[in-house]
Structure 1
Amino acid sequence: MKSIQWRVALRQLDRRRLLAPPIPQPQALRSYIRQACPKRVPLISRAPTSTSRMLNEALRGKNSTPKNTSAVPRGVVLQSAFPKKTVAAVVLLGGLVYWFVDVDMPPQWMIDMERPGAVQFFETKEEVEHWVEAHMPQPLDASTVEMMDQYIADWERLVGGFAMTEEEAREANMPVTHGAQAGVNEPCEDFYALGTAPGPGAHPWNYWAVYDGHAGKHTAAHLQMALIPHVSRDLSRLHESAPSPAITQCITQTFIRLDENWLATAKRAAHWYPALHASALMALAPVFSGSCALLAAFDPRSSTLRVACTGDSRAVLGRWDASSKTYTAVPLSVDQTGFNAAEVERLADQHPDEPAIIDPESGRLLGIAVTRAFGDHRWKWPSELVELTRYKFFGPAPRPGNASPPYMTAEPVVTETQVQRRGDGGGKPDFLILASDGLWDKLSSENAVHLVDRWIATAAGNRTAAPADQRSSSMQLDPGVHSEPQNATYPTWDATPEYFSIEDENAAVCLMRNAFGGNRRGLFKGVMSVPGGLARQVVDDTTVLVVFFGEVGGKKGGKRGEKKKGWWRFW
C-alpha cells in the first residue's frame, strides 16, 4: 500500500470510530457488521488504478459503489497540488548556499599532478604507447618547468595560508592574523593554535601558539588541544587586578604542571599496564615524542603582550622607528639551545659532573637540538624506565650518556611588552611574528621584520610588488647558493633583502616563500622538488603566524578588500 493510501485509510478508520453507534449485544453483532462495513469487492473485479482521477471514474463505471462524501473512492490515488512552499524553500536555501558557501575546487594543474590509480586497462597497443609518451613525467623536459611555475603560483593554497580580514578580526575579537604552514616531514610535526579565551578576571584575552614537534607529532598535537585552554583556565582564576609577576608565575606553572602530568600518567601506564595495552600507549604517546612551545598571550585592555617560550621557536616584534622611518626588530624570546650561554650555564649548575652533555660544535644536548621541551621522556627518565617502555610498548631506546636525568624541562621563559596599537605622532602600530625554527634557520629576525615592513608598504600601495626574478641558467646555481660537495657539505643559502620577492597577499606566506628562495626561482623550485623523506635535510617543517595590532594595508586585513570565505568558520 502506498504511503498516501495508508494514511487516508487510517484517517477513515478514525472517522468511522467516531461516528459509529455503540456496539450492540452479541446477538445483533452479525447484522451490525454488515451495516458498518461495506461488502468487499473481489480483487478480480476491482477497477485498475490510475494516476488520473477522471480515468479512475471512467474505469469504475456502473460497478462503482454508492458515493460517500466522507470516504475516498476505492482505487483512487490522491494527488497533492504543486508543492509551491517546498519549491520556494529549496530556491531560498539554494540562494543562501550560493551566496554564503564557497566551493573551492583545486586547479586543473593540481588535478593533473595526482598520482594515477593502480587500475590500468589498455585495450590496444596504441593506447599503451600514448600513455607512455604523453603521460609519463619527463623530469628534464621543459614542460616540467612550466608545471613548477603553476605550482609556485598556487603556493599559498599548498601551504594552507589563511588571512583574516578586518571584519573577521572584529567578529573574532582579536587582531588581524595571517598564517601558513609548510609540512616537510610525513606527517607534519608542526602545529599551531589561536583564539580568544578568558584571562585574569575572566576578561577576554587573545592567544597564539606555535608547537614544533620532534621525533613524532603526538606531543605537538596534544599541546594544540591542551595548552591554551589550560593557561586560560589558570589565568581566569586570578583577580583582574593581579600583578604582572603573578601572571608570569601562573603561565610558568601551567607549562610545568601540564608536562609533569603527562609524564606521571605515562609512568603509571609503563609500570602497571600490560604490554601493548591501548590505554597505556595513549598515555605514553605525548612523552615518546617531544615538542617546543611558543605562546603569545595578549591583554587587549592594557595592550600588554606576554610571550612564553619553551624550545627554539621564536617571537619577534616589529616596532616603528620614527628616526629611520622603518620597522626594527624587538626580540621577545631567545632560542633555548646549546648555543645559548644562559642555558649552558644552567645545565652546568644542575649537572656539574657531566661537562660533556652539550656538544660545543652542534650545540646539542645528548643529541637533541633544544634544551627545553615538552615530552621527551628519554631526557627526563632513568634509562631503566626508558628500557621498560621500549620492550613493553615499542618506545625509543635510551640516550647514551643519560646518567643523571632530568636534563630537560618544559619551564618557559616569559617576557612582557607593551604593544603600540596606534600610530601616534606619525608612527605605525606594532606587528608580531611567531614561527618555528624552520623559518629562522634561513631568515634572521631583522630581515623578517624588514620583509614584513616591505609587505605592508606594498599592501598599502606605497611600493612596487617585487623586483625582477633573479633567473639564472638552468645549469648554474642561483646567486647566494653555496654548494661544495667535494667537502661533503650540503647546499646552503640565506634569505637576504636582495632576494626578497613581495608577491603574496598573505604576510605569513610571503615570509615562508622568501625563506625558501624568494625571487631565486631555481632555488625555490629545487627546495619544493626534494622527494619526501629527504626534504628534512633541506628545510624543516615551518609554521608562521603574523599578528597585526593595527590596520593592515590601508584598512584591509585580507585580500585587497575582496569578500572571502571565513578562515575560521564553515561559512
Structure 2
Amino acid sequence: MSLSFIRRNPYGALATLSLTGIAGSSYYYLTHREQIALANQTFQIPVRRKDPRTGTSRTVMQKLPVIPPDVAEHILNQNISSRSFDKDGVRWNWHTAVVASNHPIEDAHTSAVHGDWMFFGVFDGHSGNATSLTLEKGLINTVKSELSENGIDLDEEKDKKEQINKSGTGHTSSSFIQAWKNSNKPTEPFTTPAISISHAIRSAFKNLDDTLLDVPIRLMDTVSSSGASSQPASDFDSPLRTNKSARAFVEAALNGSCALLAVLDTYRRNLYVACTGDSRAVAGIWDAKRRSWSVDVLSDDQTGLNPDEVARVQSEHPEDEKDTVIKRGRVLGGLQPTRAFGDARYKWGKEIQDRISRMFYSETEPLPRPPSIHLKTPPYVTAEPVVTIREDYLPGGKDTGSKKMRFLILATDGLWDVMSSEEACALVAGHLSGLRGRINKRDLPEKLGGKITVESGGVTKSGETVQTENGREEEKGRWTFSEADEGNIAKHLIRNALGGESRKVREMLSIPSPLSRNFRDDISVIVVWWDENHVMATDGEERTKAKL
C-alpha cells in the first residue's frame, strides 16, 4: 500500500499502514484514535509538476501524512548491526546503520576480520545497485588476494611478534623489496612496507574494475567467434539479450559506485583508508592533556568541484578538451564523482558502447544512456583510489603524546551532504561520553571540551577545506542523543542527519521514493571504536572502564 493511496483514503488506509517501499514488508496496526490523530498530522513538500497542456514545469506544494514514531523507529532499526571482537586486551566494536532513499537502495556495505586484519567498506552506488553489490561481495576478497600476492601474510602467527618488535614490519626487508619488484606498476618509490601494502590495495581496486569492464567485451567476443555475424543488423539477434547472467555483468559495468575501504592492520597498528569517489572517512582524536577533540579527515571528496581532481582529469586529456572534461562540476557534464567503479559510459569508447547496445539490448530498448557528446578520449573516470596511510595509529602503537585516535567513521555522501566532519565527530564523541537528551548544536563542542578542530583535512564537495564548515547556518537547532540509539552509534548519526528532532525525522522518512531523493540520499554509516581497558573477569562477567 503506497503513500499515494493513504493520501486518497487517509482513514481506511491507515488501519493497516504498509511500510512497503518505505521500510520493507512489515505492517504497523493503528487503533481508531491513532488513525484520526495521524490523519491530522501532515506536512508539505515542494515538487515539480508538468502541466500536460503546456508542457511546462512548475513547483507546487504537496501534502503528505507523517508516519507515527514507532514506524519511524522501525525504519531506523531495520538495517543496523552492532558487533564486537576481543584481541590482545582490546575490545573492537563496529556499528553499522543504513537508511534508504532510492528504491531499491543503491548503497552497500561490508566488513570482515581475518587474523590480525580488519576490513570495513561502504559503497555508494549510482544509476542502479549492480556495481555497489558487486563491490560488497568481491572487493575485500580482491584486496586480500592482492596482499597475499605481494608477500603479505594475512595469517601471521603470534610467534612472529618478536620479529615485528625488532624490525617494525613482521617481514624481512628483502621479502618486501622482492614483492615490490614483482608488482606490475609501482607508482611511487619503495620506502616502507606500508607503501607496499598501499600499492597492493590500489592494484586490487584497479584490477577489480578492469575485470568489471572486460567481462561484457569478452562475452561479446565469445558470441562473435562462435559464428554469429558481426554486422549491426544481426547483432540485435545476439543470445546475450535474453541471458540474465550476461545482462547482470553488463549492468555491473554500466552502473557505477564509489568505494571507501578501511584496512586495519592491528598487528603493526597501521591504518589504511582507500577512497574512490566522494564517500568520506574521518577519525576522532582525543587529546587527554587538553581534554579536547579534533578530527583527522582521512579522505578527499573526489568530485568535479575538487580543484585537485579537476586538474588531474584535465591533465590526462588533450588541451582542446579542457573545457568539456569537467563541465558544471561534473565529468563530461554528467557524473559528479571523478573516481568510481563501473561507469563504463565514461570509460568505453563509442564503438564499444554501440556494440554493447546492439548485443545486450535491442532496437526498442537501447542502451539506457547513450555516450556523451563530449566523449573523445576515454577513460575519463578511474577506480584507482587515493590511499591514506597512518602508521602506529591504532591501539598499542608508539607513544604519540597525549593525542590518541578513539574512533573511525566511514559513510557514504548521504551523511556528508548534511553534516560536516567536525559535527559527526562531536556526535560520536558525545554519544561515547554518555550525553543524552537534546543539545543545542552550538553548545555541543563546549560540552566536549571546546571547539573541535581539524588535525588534517581533506577537500569537501565545495572545494573548500573542512575547516571552513563550522560557521554554517545549520549550527542553529539541536542535536538529539536518544536512548533508543544507545546500542548503535551509526544509527545515532543517521537520526541526526535526518533532523534529530522526532518530528523532523518522521517527516523525512515519510517522503516516498522517488520524491525522497530530492531531500535525502541513501545513507550508510560504519563507526569503529575500541576500548583498550576492556578485561574479562574470572567469574565470566565483562568489566569495562569508562569509555572516555
Shared fold per TM-score greater than 0.5: yes
- Stretch deviating more after TM superposition (263-272 or 358-367): 358-367
Which of residues 113, 120, 141 is equivalent to 1:229? 141
Q: Deviations over 1:516-543 (max 9, x none)?
A: 1012x33322211112111111111110
The answer as to whether partners of 1:338 and 1:358 remain within 8 angstroms in 2 is: no
Which of residues 234, 238, 247 is equivalent to 2:197? 247
Aligned residue in 2 for 1:217: 129
Q: Distance in 1 between matches of 2:122 and 2:246?
A: 27
Aligned residue in 1 for 2:277: 311
The answer as to whether partners of 1:248 and 1:414 remain within 8 angstroms in 2 is: yes
Which of residues 18, 33, 40 is equivalent to 1:141? 40
Which of residues 453, 463, 479 is equivalent to 1:500? 479
User: Structure 1 pair 499/411, CA: closer, same or farther in 2 (3 Å)?
Assistant: same
User: Structure 1 pair 179/363, CA: closer, same or farther in 2 (3 Å)?
Assistant: same
Q: Distance in 1 between matches of 2:83 and 2:119?
A: 15
Aligned residue in 2 for 1:451: 427
**Higher relative contact order at CA 8 Å, sep ≥6: structure 1 or structure 2?**
2
Q: Deviations over 1:367-425 (max 9, x none)?
A: 01100111111000112221222233233222231111110111010011132426987
Per-residue deviation, 1:496: 3.7
Matched, 1:466 2:438: yes
* 1:137-176 correspondence runs (5 A): 140-142=39-41, 148-158=68-78, 160-165=79-84, 168-169=85-86, 175-176=92-93
Would you tell me which structure has more strand in proportion to its own residues?
2
Aligned residue in 1 for 2:166: none
* DSSP 3-state at the match of 2:425: helix
Aligned residue in 2 for 1:367: 334
Q: Distance in 2 between matches of 1:136 and 1:322?
A: 52
Matched, 1:276 2:241: yes
Per-residue deviation, 1:426: 6.6
The aligned amino acid for 2:77 is: R
User: Structure 1 pair 249/391, CA: closer, same or farther in 2 (3 Å)?
Assistant: same
Q: Deviations over 1:148-192 (max 9, x none)?
A: 22234445413x111124xx5559x97210110111111111111
Q: How many residues align?
A: 400
- Stretch deviating more after TM superposition (314-323 or 330-339): 314-323
User: Structure 1 pair 146/265, CA: closer, same or farther in 2 (3 Å)?
Assistant: closer
Would you tell me which structure has more helix in proportion to its own residues?
1
The answer as to whether partners of 2:411 and 2:523 remain within 8 angstroms in 1 is: yes
* DSSP 3-state at the match of 1:233: helix
Q: Deviations over 1:328-379 (max 9, x none)?
A: 1101110110111111111111112212235564445430110011111100
Q: Distance in 2 between matches of 1:303 and 1:245?
A: 15
- Which structure has the greater CA radius of gyration? 1
Provide the alpha-carbon RMSD of the alignment: 3.5
The answer as to whether partners of 2:303 and 2:329 remain within 8 angstroms in 1 is: no
Aligned residue in 2 for 1:184: 101
* DSSP 3-state at the match of 2:294: strand
User: Structure 1 pair 420/283, CA: closer, same or farther in 2 (3 Å)?
Assistant: closer
Aligned residue in 1 for 2:119: 207
Matched, 1:515 2:486: no
The answer as to whether partners of 1:429 and 1:549 remain within 8 angstroms in 2 is: no
Which of residues 377, 387, 412 is equivalent to 2:344? 377
The answer as to whether partners of 1:338 and 1:365 remain within 8 angstroms in 2 is: no
* 1:349-360 correspondence runs (5 A): 349-351=315-317, 352-359=319-326
- Stretch deviating more after TM superposition (259-268 or 362-371): 362-371
* DSSP 3-state at the match of 1:280: helix
The answer as to whether partners of 2:254 and 2:342 remain within 8 angstroms in 1 is: yes
The answer as to whether partners of 2:283 and 2:405 remain within 8 angstroms in 1 is: no
The answer as to whether partners of 1:193 and 1:208 remain within 8 angstroms in 2 is: yes
Aligned residue in 1 for 2:9: none
The aligned amino acid for 1:374 is: F
Structure 2 gaps, min length 5: 1-13, 21-29, 43-63, 153-169, 177-192, 224-237, 362-366, 442-471, 543-548
Percent of aligned positions with the same letter in both sequences?
33
The aligned amino acid for 2:147 is: L
Q: Distance in 2 between matches of 1:115 and 1:307?
A: 36
User: Structure 1 pair 468/346, CA: closer, same or farther in 2 (3 Å)?
Assistant: closer
Q: What is the TM-score of this pair, normalised by structure 2?
A: 0.66
Q: Deviations over 1:510-566 (max 9, x none)?
A: 1111111012x33322211112111111111110000003359x989xxxx99xxxx
Aligned residue in 1 for 2:18: 114
The answer as to whether partners of 2:411 and 2:524 remain within 8 angstroms in 1 is: yes
Q: Distance in 2 between matches of 1:536 and 1:545?
A: 22
The answer as to whether partners of 1:191 and 1:224 remain within 8 angstroms in 2 is: yes
User: Structure 1 pair 250/147, CA: closer, same or farther in 2 (3 Å)?
Assistant: closer
User: Structure 1 pair 156/524, CA: closer, same or farther in 2 (3 Å)?
Assistant: closer
* 1:425-444 correspondence runs (5 A): 429-444=405-420
Q: Distance in 2 between matches of 1:449 and 1:497?
A: 17
Q: Distance in 2 between matches of 1:389 and 1:196?
A: 39
User: Structure 1 pair 227/215, CA: closer, same or farther in 2 (3 Å)?
Assistant: same
Matched, 1:332 2:298: yes
* DSSP 3-state at the match of 1:254: helix
Q: Deviations over 1:487-515 (max 9, x none)?
A: xxxxxx97548421111111101111111
User: Structure 1 pair 138/501, CA: closer, same or farther in 2 (3 Å)?
Assistant: closer
The answer as to whether partners of 2:271 and 2:394 remain within 8 angstroms in 1 is: no
Q: Distance in 1 between matches of 2:499 and 2:105?
A: 21
Q: Distance in 1 between matches of 2:423 and 2:129?
A: 30
* DSSP 3-state at the match of 1:545: strand
Q: Distance in 1 between matches of 2:41 and 2:436?
A: 30
The answer as to whether partners of 1:451 and 1:497 remain within 8 angstroms in 2 is: no
